Structure 1
Amino acid sequence: MAASPAPADTRRDAPALSGCIIAFNEADRIADCIASLAFCDEVVVVDSHSTDATARIAADLGARVIQRPFDGFRSQKQFAIEQAAHDWVLCLDADERVGEALRTSIEAERARGFEDAAGYRFARLSEYFGKFLRHGNAYPDRVLRLFDRRRGGWRGKREVHEAASVDGPVRTLSGDLIHYPYRSLEAQLQKTQRYARMMAEHDFARGKRATLGKLILSPAWRFWRGYLFRGGFLDGWHGLVYAYVRANYVRQKTIMLWLLQNGRAIESPKESQPGRHVKD
């Protein structure tokens, strides 16, 4: 009796895939991030000269580690994909992991050669102090992270709240990118204040201006849109706290823009330190 043919190697002819991560002082999270990219052909970690064991852990796990001074989230991510050995790239932050369902979706598309798509978006599911938020402004929070770098990348001038874009069709995959954004409430408040400053400076440079109406109404709208109209209340007290903190971010950003347009400083010189890299 003839032997049955061996199962086809679904990856043999599939496009090669590079996992790209940017990191700074992520020794407690980088290993799980890299482990979730085990299906990639390589993992590239661009480290901003961490002072902890981030780079060593990444290298020990087989990642190719490249040191580069941090000059903005968008710039750092674009640099990372430019260093990749392959044109199809999957971009993660160190506080993110590819969930099992998402991995299955990615591998299925890869087996088909990523045909008819220049990139893929998928939902991001964020953990918030012991609970995954599945409603409100927090979810599905779809992000474009898997794409052909020959047809796109981390483009534009905005270094905060950066987003990749591609020239061509973008498809949505099932499954979640698991996100662990905050180690503590204090860390979240520090991040939101830093992001508010960066966005206010970006908007001011582009000629955008705050108004009294925006100062009063925008934070309230952000809260009620997420908490009530998008169902954030279904996440219990976690959803309430999240909605309040995000509304406060809008308030801070608008106040800072107001100060800038009126010629007032929004931070003291001693707080302006190079190399700060805290990713939301």
Structure 2
Amino acid sequence: MNKPALSLVLITHNAASQLAQTLESARALADDIVVLDSGSEDDTVALAERYGARVTHQPFLGFGPQKRLAVSLARHDWVLCLDADERLTPELAQSIAAALAAPDKAAYRFARRNRFFGRYLKHGEAYPDWCLRLFDRRRANWSEDMVHETVRVVDGATGTLAGDLLHDSAEELGHYLQKQNRYTDIQADKLYAAGKRVGALKLIGSPLVRFIRYYVFRLGFLDGAAGFAHIAIGSFFAFVKYAKLIERWRQGGPTPR
């Protein structure tokens, strides 16, 4: 079997501070680089073009639709989708190259290691954070979800590759909290539009179960203060999501589009 050509696909917005590391980690694998930018005001576009990327501009459609559009712009059917604050470890790059030498799956997943409070977490919700990012777009693609989008395989099996994807988010805690608050708005709107209702049991139980699962059974406590903060914030926003959903039903407004 001939090795299939690979397109590296990214969506960007004001990502100049980290994009170079991302592209450097994967450029040797890619025969084509696609960047779909949603109005960057920094040097993102110029930097991407220096790396030979084909840059297209599109106002943000939501994460799932934006990534689906970016994948459609690729020249090749095999795509590797990365965020601008992620980079491949050498081990993962080697695993991807080996898989593409003779692909026997429709898609491949690998572990993502997340940085929080200035350190890479090794347990809990943060690792292994399995990500399916390498796939044949004829048999898999991104979901239409506005947030927390995932790749769905419609034909074929999924393989697992060795090596880590490093998530180097450099955002401050305040920005991280603002982002999580926006995400819960989107999630609550989606649940409300679908007619979902929750009561006190879900409101209280969901964040409690989440915390116990990741902090105790997934050994999040071994990551110290950073692990506690990461899981506690995630559990709190699980509560916020359902609280917002209850609020929407009590307000009784029209369901969002």
Shorter-chain TM-score tier: over 0.9
Q: In structure 2, what is the equivalent of residue 151 of structure 1?
A: 139
Q: In structure 2, what is the equivalent of residue 247 of structure 1?
A: 235
TM-score (norm 2): 0.94
Output one character per residue of 1:239-258: Cα deviation in whole Å (capped at 9) or x when no partner. Answer: 01111111111011111111
TM alignment of 1:1-280, pairs within 5 A: 13-38=2-27, 39-112=29-102, 114=103, 116-155=104-143, 157-166=144-153, 167-263=155-251
Retained in 1: the 8 A contact 2:107–2:157? yes
Coordinate RMSD, CA, aligned: 1.4
Task: Give 4+ residue runs of structure 1 displaced > 3 Å after superposition.
Answer: none
Tell me how far apart the structure 2 counterparts of residues 28 and 182 of structure 1 sit (CA, whole Å): 9
Retained in 2: the 8 A contact 1:37–1:43? no
Tell me how far apart the structure 1 counterparts of residues 192 and 211 of structure 2 sit (CA, whole Å): 24
Larger Rg: 1
Describe the SS at the equivalent of 2:129.
coil
TM-score (norm 1): 0.87
> Which ranges of structure 2 fall in alignment gaps of 5 or more residues?
none
Letter matched to residue 62 of structure 1 = G
Aligned residue-pair number:
251
Deviation at 1:181?
Answer: 2.9
Tell me how far apart the structure 1 counterparts of residues 137 and 202 of structure 2 sit (CA, whole Å): 38
Letter matched to residue 57 of structure 1 = L
Retained in 2: the 8 A contact 1:158–1:202? no
Tell me how far apart the structure 1 counterparts of residues 169 and 251 of structure 2 sit (CA, whole Å): 33
Tell me how far apart the structure 1 counterparts of residues 37 and 206 of structure 2 sit (CA, whole Å): 36
Tell me how far apart the structure 2 counterparts of residues 102 and 225 of structure 1 sit (CA, whole Å): 28
Mean Cα deviation higher: 35-44 or 15-24? 35-44
Q: Percent identity?
A: 45
Deviation at 1:195?
Answer: 0.7
